[in-house]
A = this chain, B = another copy of it.
Amino acid sequence: MKIAVINEISAADRNADILRALEGRGHEILNLGNTGGNDSPALLYTHTGLMSALLLHLHAVDFVVGGCGTGIGYLNSVMQYPGVFCAHLLTPLDAFLFARINAGNCISLALNQGYGWAGDVNLRLIFDALFTPETGTGYPPHRAEPQRQGRETLAQISCATHRPMAKILPALPAGMSHVALSYPRFRPLLEDAIEAVSDPALSTAIKSALKTLP
């Protein structure tokens, strides 16, 4: 699985902990956001939310690990976009249930609130429970079918309520999207991905957006 890790600035000092906790699982990890508290430009949760959604829509990654100080800002930001299904995970049990019941493509971690000593160990235990072949199998198992239907309805709702990404991109506040799209660790990936993308409207929209960057 290809997993993007995207930190905003307030919790960028946890970036190394996240990377270490993801090691040794056989996943390809793309580290695309801030990697330390002094990184420049500083990304806010509004930026990391857009970056995350674009990566998912471009099929550049299968899963995004994000977060912020409490986890709630990034959650609200990334959930503004279509096709994003995200949990706020604090414990391994949260991860166990999210994998089986919701089987989403994104998580938001609380990286300052409640993140103390051995917070890195907790991340590892969370990822142990999250990345499982049991994804989408339901919990408890006999509820698998209604839970699958719930996810399907949710995906339909997401299509109905959102504009397509190709229309979203030019409508976003330009100051915000410029920072996100031009972020040095992110931009090359975006440029590669648009060549391969199967949605020509989105490809065109991203190309247009890239042209307007300073």
Q: Which residues of B contact A139 (CB under 8 A)?
A: 118, 121
Q: Find chain B residues with CB under 8 A from A163 CB.
A: 160-163
Q: Interface size (A, Cβ < 8 Å)?
A: 62
Q: Which residues of B contact A46 (CB under 8 A)?
A: 150, 153-154, 157
Q: Which residue of B lies closest to A146 (CB)?
A: B44
A73 touches B118 (CB 8 A): no
A63 contacts partner chain B, Cβ-Cβ < 8 Å: no
- Knowing A70-B101, A161-B80, A163-B162, the reply to whether A129 touches B125 (Cβ < 8 A) is yes
Assess whether A183 is interfacial by the CB under 8 Å rule: no
Q: Is the CB of B104 within 8 A of A76?
A: yes
Residue-wise, chain A 125-169 has the 8 Å CB interface mask toward B (1 for contact) of 100010000000001000000000010011011111111000010
Complex interface: chain B residues within 8 A of A88 (CB) = 71-72, 75, 88
Interchain CA distance A115-B156 in the complex, whole Å: 30
Q: Known A73-B150, A93-B122, A96-B118; judge A157-B129 contact (CB<8 A).
A: no
**A82 interface residue, CB < 8 Å from B?**
yes
Question: B94 and A70: CB pair below 8 A?
Answer: yes
Chain B's closest residue to A77 (CB) is: B154
Alpha-carbon distance A162/B163, docked complex (angstroms): 5
Q: Who on chain B is nearest to A122 by CB?
A: B93
The 9 A-B residue pairs with the shortest CB-CB distance in the complex, in nearest-first order: A112-B117, A160-B171, A79-B79, A115-B116, A88-B88, A93-B122, A80-B161, A72-B87, A46-B153
Q: List 17 A-B contacts (CB under 8 A).
A: A44-B153, A45-B150, A69-B101, A70-B98, A75-B75, A75-B88, A80-B158, A90-B90, A91-B93, A112-B116, A112-B117, A113-B117, A113-B118, A153-B173, A153-B176, A160-B172, A161-B163
Given contacts A46-B157, A72-B98, A161-B162, 6 further A-B pairs with CB under 8 A are A50-B157, A75-B79, A80-B154, A80-B158, A113-B118, A162-B163
